[in-house]
Amino acid sequence: MFRRVLPAVTAFALLTACSVTSTPDAPPGGRVVTLVTHDSFALSPELLERFKSDTGITIKPLASGDAGELTNKLVLTKDAPIGDVAFGVDSTFASRALKEDVFAEYASPEAQRGAQRYRLDPPNRLHAVDVGDVCLNIDVAAFKDTGAPAQYADLADPKFKDVLVVEDPATSSPGLAFLLGTIAAFGEQGWQDYWSGLKANGVKVVSGWEEAYTQDFSGSSGKGPRPVVVSYASSPSAEIGDDGAPRTKALLDTCYRQVEYAGVLNGAKNPDDARKVVDFLLGEQVQADVPGQMYVYPSREGVALPEAWTKAAPAPATARSLPADQVDANRERWVRQWRTLVQG
């Protein structure tokens, strides 16, 4: 139901539209690891070729919908797994996968180089591959003369009436992340009052990121009427003007952290090679490739970001989050309450 959507304009939309980057064909009788992924998985083909050359293992991606659909499929097929490794279960859905015992225990040696910061359970069944921060983004030029909002509360101020477009948390991963961010910020007792303020102030709700960012947001290709949108901290890296300055800005005090994980599936046909694939995903070469291919931040420490990111899309020093088990226990209730409040 929820889709993890990649940020930015044309290049980002292309990634969202495609299933996977092309992969080398496996020779007859060769070693193959099936990597079950979400639809937005992408890595540079040369990295996959190099891994095959170095190890003799062909990685065969199997696209399986968005993060929620992927998790559901892994749970439903856990007794007869459809692959060897899975990538793309995120922090919103991870607790369900762990509760259902989808993943096998494996402590990758590569995890000690940064992924351990996002560890969810002591047996190390899931390893963090990347981090994506969902934040409010603004069209810088639109606020040149009036002053821009900086934090959640500003968007309920009447002087910012009719400026915000958000995604429906029932149909959009960034929309859900934004809702969770407001719950983390205002608490169980305060988030509904905040959304009542947004509704009174003219917030527009659309079904998904692509519509919000490319049609309603004034700072992107669609040149829409609304100068504030829910997107990603990395989105401004794709909005560099001819003068070299970013046309948009992420409000880093409004970020909610999403972490994407990989793990060896319980019952995998090829568990030994599956562990090598997990090591590969956490390795320096793949981690350096992640920003340019999937527009998320690497989990590994010390990996240089692309030059455009350094200037326009630095990773937030801090970001809000909620415990995975708390999200799992309350997600459907929170979305129902949101729908009643905002759309009812």
In three state form, how does the secondary structure of the chain look? CCCCCCCCCHHHHHHHHCCCCCCCCCCCCCEEEEEEECCCCCCCHHHHHHHHHHHCEEEEEEECCCHHHHHHHHHHCCCCCCCCEEEEEECCCHHHHHHCCCECCCCCHHHHHCHHHHCCCCCCCCEEEEEEEEEEEEEHHHHCCCCCCCCHHHHHCHHHCCCEEEECCCCCHHHHHHHHHHHHHHHHHHHHHHHHHHHHCCCEEECCHHHHHHHHECCCCCCCCECEEEEECCHHHHCECCCCCECEEECHHHCEEEEEEEEEECCCCCHHHHHHHHHHHHCHHHHHHHHHHHCCEECCCCCCCCHHHHHHCCCCCCCECCCHHHHHHHHHHHHHHHHHHHHC
pTM over 0.85: no
Closest C-alpha among 90, 91, 85 to residue 106:
85
pLDDT tens-place string over residues 213-235: 999 999 998 899 999 999 999 99
Quote the pLDDT of residue 12. 35
Q: Which residue has the higher pLDDT, 76 or 238?
A: 76
Going by C-alpha positions, the residue among 230, 245, 256, 10 that lies closest to residue 144 is 245
In degrees to the nearest 10, what's the CA dihedral of 43, 44, 50, 51? 0
69 confidence band (pLDDT: 50, 70, 90): confident
* Residues 6 or more apart in contact with residue 130 via CB below 8 angstroms: 259, 260, 290, 294, 296, 297, 298, 299
Of 219, 223, 213, nearest to 239 by C-alpha is 219
Q: Which of 129, 254, 124 is nearest to 181 (CA)?
A: 254
Q: What are phi and psi of 323, to 5 degrees?
A: -55, 140
Average pLDDT, stretch 151-173?
94
Question: Which stretch of 130-144, 247-261, 301-315 has the lowest confidence by average pLDDT?
Answer: 301-315
**pLDDT grade for 25, boundaries at 50, 70 and 90:** low
Instruction: Band the pLDDT of 171: cuts 50, 70, 90.
Output: confident
End-to-end, the C-alpha distance of the chain in Å comes to: 20
Length in residues, the chain: 344
Lowest average pLDDT, out of 205-209, 241-245, 299-303, goes to: 241-245
User: Which one-letter amino acid corresponds to residue 219?
Assistant: G
pLDDT score of 127:
97
pLDDT at 10: 33
**% of the chain residues with pLDDT over 90:** 74
Question: Tell me, what's the pLDDT at 26?
Answer: 52
Percent with pLDDT over 70 in the chain = 92
pLDDT, tens only, 42-58: 999 999 999 999 999 99
What confidence category does residue 170 fall into, taking pLDDT thresholds of 50, 70 and 90?
confident
Q: How far is Cα 86 from Cα 138, in angstroms, rounded to an integer? A: 34
Rounded average pLDDT over 170-176: 86
Domains of the chain (ranges, CATH numbers): 10-132+258-312 (3.40.190.10), 133-256+316-343 (3.40.190.10)
**Closest residue by Cα to residue 298 from 310, 307, 286, 309:** 286
Burial of 317 (0-12, 13-18, 19+ CB in 10 A): exposed
On average, the pLDDT of the chain sits at 90
What the block records as the tokens of 325 is: 């088990």
Region label for 259, one of left (φ > 0), alpha (ψ between -120 and 50) or beta (otherwise): beta
Condensed to tens digits (0 to 9), the pLDDT of residues 134-154 reads: 999 999 999 999 899 999 999
